[in-house]
Amino acid sequence: MARVCSILLASQIFLLHLVTAAHGGEIYTRADFPADFVFGSGTAAPQYEGAAFEDGRTASIWDTFAHSGRSKGANGDVACDGYHKYKEDIGLMVETGLEAFRISISWSRLIPNGRGPISKKGLKYYNNLITELTSNGIQAHVTLNHLDLPQALEDEYKGWLSRNIVKDFVDFADVCFKEFGDRVLHWTTINEANIAALGGYIDGIIAPGRCSTRSICAEGDSTTEPYTVLHNMLLAHSAAAKLYKKKYLSTQNGKVGINIYTLGFVPLTNSTQDVIATQRVIDFYIGWVMNPLIFGDYPDIVKKRVKTRIPAFTKQESEQVKGSFDFIGLNHYTTVYVKDSPNKKRDINDFYTDMAAETIYKRDPDAPEFEYPEMAWGLKGQLEYIKQVYGNPPLYIQENGLSLSCIYIYI
């Protein structure tokens, strides 16, 4: 059996070594791209490591959510077993020609109680993994939190819903910067901050699985919690970035960023209503994160529609969040059509009613033709939008393309 798992796992296959693509009759190879253009792949601790309860690792909110049965029976107990087989996987990456590999640190493996003593075995694993990557000429891009907050902190104070998370996150980041920063030059604090807030606190479809719909979630308040969570994530991110610049930048010379999920947004029709709604949706999905990072506050339309349900930045917090990144990580997979929907009825006022628009993923009788082979322009459009609106910040496309679970080929 040939095992090809980690390099194809659930995320971003940008391009592999000397992959050729026919486009307009031309063939492209690695040599057609600048030398400093980095091709890589990646995954996350819950998707890759396995060994969920080995060597002192404790449960994360993702483990708890998965074992609740709400993830359709899937869990990360074994996953791709990268905890035991990372050397074999890195060998495959070398054969493939990957130049970078994005991993995440399981907070509950490194610091099992969320704070306090560091696990010696957890520390050894990440040191070995990162060293194995870098010694084989593969850049290690590290994400600090990828939907897997320690369950201990969720139990103690509801995790991202509490301001207590800011200090604990900074302390966790401090450990990672100190222990791995001599080999890691690219740090992403939080993966898909906007989707973590929406999926975990409105839809209830990812950890910690909170929402107002009691037929789905045992607890949660979708009217306020996503806004509180995203606010605390921005504060935690900016505090960790501030720490890095103060304590580690001069010796490690690394970069710290944050990741957001982007969609391509296209008006369903050329009506004024749909065009305005499309901009409103962009402000809610993307401006919700980007505006504080660039301008120090949420978009005006978001504040106007959400009112007191979204936390306000103090002057000090605004100054800390503004400019608190060296790069923005983008995850992008598809494009949606936007239809103005000011009177759409939902049981509660939440992000979706605040946005007052529908996003249509699939073919709709009233929609233009939706052809997947031509959807690459959605990513191009988002890159151009961020460049023009937010002053051309440094960007990494950290996820893009095809999502796959573990793949095994038997020969």
Q: Which residues are catalytic?
A: 192, 399
Q: Which amino acid is at 366?
A: D
Q: Between β-strands 327-340 and 395-400, what pairing exists: parallel, antiparallel or unpaired?
A: parallel
Q: Yes or no: say if 157 and 225 are a contact pair by the CB < 8 Å rule.
A: no
| Helix axes of 82-96 and 120-135: crossing angle, nearest 10 degrees | 10
Euclidean distance between CA atoms 351 and 45, whole angstroms:
29
Euclidean distance between CA atoms 71 and 68, whole angstroms:
8
Q: Yes or no: say if 366 and 269 are a contact pair by the CB < 8 Å rule.
A: yes
Q: Yes or no: say if 180 and 250 are a contact pair by the CB < 8 Å rule.
A: no
SS3 254: coil
Q: Between β-strands 22-23 and 26-27, what pairing exists: parallel, antiparallel or unpaired?
A: antiparallel
Q: Yes or no: say if 183 and 252 are a contact pair by the CB < 8 Å rule.
A: no
Structure-derived torsion over alpha carbons of residues 127, 128, 132, 134, reported in degrees to the nearest 10: 10
